[in-house]
Amino acid sequence: MAETLKRRYRAYLDCLNRQAWDELDRHVSTDVHHNGQPLGVDGYRDMLLADFEAIPDLRFEAERIVCDPPHVAARLLFRCTPRGEFLGLPVNGRTVSFGENAFYEFADGRISAVWSVIDKAAIEAQL
Amino acid sequence: MAETLKRRYRAYLDCLNRQAWDELDRHVSTDVHHNGQPLGVDGYRDMLLADFEAIPDLRFEAERIVCDPPHVAARLLFRCTPRGEFLGLPVNGRTVSFGENAFYEFADGRISAVWSVIDKAAIEAQL
């Protein structure tokens, strides 16, 4: 069961990396919450679209996946080039590397809630 | 086995909250790494002593523990009152609430590596 959930989580990341937005609702619940905000799958898609618009070379890579059904925790590592400001920081086309530590709750095989922290201090240290 | 590891992790948090520094090496490996830095248990203790010095009401509370031996991921929630600067932010005695998403690797029953991200953006939003 942990392996099934891990596979599902990897399929979700693959969906993001292919920017296959018409498949997102296979991976994300209709009423998904993100950091306490009830975004819903449409708001979640809008957030990701804005992320890819701001960071054209964005790519989701999990360095570590910790799986304890119905929960997944993942450490994501990014190396990417935000065009302008990112998290309020003047990145302006520099390539930066940083981690994101994220927790996911699954319900009926889809992500129903996310609690995510991006390592902003690591980005600041690179500017 | 997951339950044993979860119990071990809770015992580690309890050790921190009691500031029982003479017990720390029961929970943390001699050669522990923290965010890629080889702190060792002495450096790790020094880091925690500095944290409690800077934040006298610091208390470690796990909202969520995801356990997949030998890995633990925990979402910690803090509500505390840093005296001066914290993460470079002028908190100066205000009470702030924030999360920390942390991954731990265990070896021989003790924490051998930690990858942690504190939600600095959440603190900034409260200042």
- Asked whether A19 and A31 are in contact (CB, 8 A), the reply is no
Parallel, antiparallel or unpaired: strands A85-86 and B110-118: unpaired
Q: Kindly report the nearest CA distance between residue A22 and chain B, in angstroms.
A: 30
- Asked whether B41 and B61 are in contact (CB, 8 A), the reply is no
User: What is the predicted ipTM?
Assistant: 0.94
**What tens digit of pLDDT does each residue of A41-70 get?**
999 999 999 999 999 999 999 999 999 999
Q: Where are the beta strands (DSSP E) in A2-109?
A: 28-34, 62-68, 71-80, 85-86, 89-90, 96-107
Confidence at residue B80, expressed as pLDDT on a 0 to 100 scale = 98
Where exactly are the structural domains of chain B?
A: 2-124
Would you say residue B62 has pLDDT above 90? yes
Average pLDDT over residues A96-100: 98
Average pLDDT over chain B, rounded to an integer = 97
* Structure confidence at residue A1 as a pLDDT band (50, 70, 90): confident
Confidence at residue B24, expressed as pLDDT on a 0 to 100 scale = 98
Kindly indicate whether the domain formed by B2-124 is annotated with CATH number 3.40.50.300: no
Please give the helix or strand (H or E) that residue A118 lies within, else none: strand A110-118
pTM above the 0.90 mark? yes
Architecture label for domain A2-125? Roll (3.10)
- Inter-chain CB proximity A75 and B103 less than 8 Å: yes
Would you say residue B1 has pLDDT above 90? no
Rg for chain B, CA atoms, rounded? 14
- Inter-chain CB proximity A120 and B120 less than 8 Å: yes
Percent of chain B with pLDDT over 90: 98
- CA distances in angstroms from B72 to B25, B41, B120, listed in the order given: 18, 19, 22
Q: Does A58 touch chain B (CB under 8 A)?
A: no
Conformational region of residue A109, where left means phi above 0, alpha means psi within -120 to 50, and beta covers everything else: left
Average pLDDT over chain A, rounded to an integer = 97
Q: Kindly report the nearest CA distance between residue A118 and chain B, in angstroms.
A: 7
- Inter-chain CB proximity A73 and B118 less than 8 Å: no
The DSSP secondary structure of A5-19, one letter per residue, reads HHHHHHHHHHHHHTT
* Structure confidence at residue B109 as a pLDDT band (50, 70, 90): very high
Q: Which chain A residues have a beta carbon less than 8 Å from that of B102?
A: 101
Q: Does A72 touch chain B (CB under 8 A)?
A: yes
Best residue of B117, B118, B123, B124 to probe chain A, by most A CBs closer than 10 Å: B117
- Inter-chain CB proximity A121 and B121 less than 8 Å: no
Confidence at residue B20, expressed as pLDDT on a 0 to 100 scale = 98
**DSSP SS3 for B125:** coil
Parallel, antiparallel or unpaired: strands B85-86 and A96-107: unpaired
Confidence at residue A117, expressed as pLDDT on a 0 to 100 scale = 98
Average pLDDT over residues A16-29: 98
- Inter-chain CB proximity A73 and B101 less than 8 Å: yes
